[in-house]
Amino acid sequence: MRISLILVASLSLVNGFVLQSSSLYPQTINGLSSKTRFAASTSEEEIALPTLDQLKSDSFIDQVGYASQYVPLLSQEDIDVADMIEAQLSHSDGIRGFFVSYLTGDSPSPADEEVIPAPLKAALESQKSSSDLISLTCMNVIMPTGMITMHTDEELSNNSKMTSKRGIIVAKALLAMNKESGNVEMLKQCQAILKVAKGEVDSEDEDVKYWIEFFSKWGYGDKEKENIAKAMEDLMQ
Ligand SMILES: *[C@@H]1O[C@H](CO)[C@@H](O)[C@H](O)[C@H]1NC(C)=O
């Protein structure tokens, strides 16, 4: 768990840099032995997409590369990537890989729309009660929101702001789906995070305790907590 968090964090620190350049992963992209091949309508080039087996089992870094290939296709109605996202969202490395790519990719992106793309919605719906997905979705709001004021470089801070906004859109959608099916787990986590962001430093509640430790590990101060509290209130309203 700790190692996973650190990877997400370091990728968000350099966000917009790692993921802009899918050329950073040439071995992954050229080396794909894919059963699924089709031409993207925006380009003459044929794109080899990963198989469902690869999406369900390969490493975190591979997952980032896979998602960066098909995230740009998310808004194309003739290409259905819901199964691919669902396969990624079935395990923790896949969830982190998908969202690093989705949340930090270049603008304009489907991730900037207030309504999440239909394939992502379908995939979230099928995995909505996964505790890994719920927890990582909350972290995808907390971490970039915290980084907005921790970055001293304006461009990096702007990138974190964009990532945070996108993270809130996804979290809102997932929270709504869980509420609708009567699952209160995500709401409980968001409420616990809000308490900690509002200054709670001691608690008997296991969830609150968890997030107190999380906040302390990342060194969030008053400004960061204030922004995280706003983000939590925004996504729960
Ligand atoms: C950061 O965002 C602000 C507000 O949108 C913009 O005015 C500024 O030029 C951006 N800075 C950089 C370095 O991209």
| Residue 88 contacts residue 95 (beta carbons within 8 Å) | yes
What single-letter DSSP state applies at residue 117? P
Take atom 12 of ligand 1 and give the residue whose Cα is closest: 155
Take atom 4 of ligand 1 and give the residue whose Cα is closest: 158
Model's pTM, two decimal places?
Answer: 0.82
Looking from the CA of 56 toward its CB, the CA atoms found within 13 Å total 6
Count of structural domains within the chain:
1
The reply to whether ligand 1 has any atom less than 6 angstroms from the CB of 154 is yes
Task: Report pLDDT digits (tens) over 89-98.
Answer: 999 999 999 9
The pLDDT assigned to 47 comes to 62
Cα–Cα distance, 124 to 69 (Å, whole number): 19
| Domain extent at residue 84 | 5-236
The reply to whether ligand 1 has any atom less than 6 angstroms from the CB of 153 is no
210: Cα separation from own chain's centroid: 20
The reply to whether ligand 1 has any atom less than 6 angstroms from the CB of 158 is yes
Token code pair at residue 121: 């919605």
The pLDDT assigned to 46 comes to 59
Q: How far is the CA of 155 from the centre of ligand 1 (A)?
A: 7
The reply to whether ligand 1 has any atom less than 6 angstroms from the CB of 155 is yes
